[in-house]
Amino acid sequence: MRGYPVSFADVMESGGSGGSQCADYIKDYFSIVEFHNGHFDLTGTLNARVNYTNQCLSATTDAKRAVNNNFGNKKFM
């Protein structure tokens, strides 16, 4: 398991009070998918998800970074 959290919720909850207050962000996170020329865009998806998680002010920067490092460019979960 390389030391990564098991799920998105685990990471956000490890960031303090962010888990419960960011439930809507968790719910919508994986629906953010960017395409470029009709193909899944890893970088575009990651950037859009980073921008989205940054809207959740109650989660720590480290928690948001961990989420995006682990799940930011995943096409399907």
Domain ranges of the chain: 8-71
Alpha-carbon torsion, ordered 31, 10, 66, 8, to 10 deg: -10
Residue 72 in this model has a pLDDT that exceeds 50 = yes
Mean pLDDT in residue range 63-71? 88
Q: What is the pLDDT of residues 17-64, one digit of tens each?
A: 455 666 666 778 888 999 999 999 999 999 999 999 888 887 788 888
Q: Is 50 exposed, middle or buried (0-12, 13-18, 19+ CB in 10 A)?
A: middle
Which pLDDT score, from 0 to 100, does residue 1 have?
35
Determine how many CB atoms are found less than 10 A away from the CB of residue 62.
12
Which pLDDT score, from 0 to 100, does residue 6 have?
47
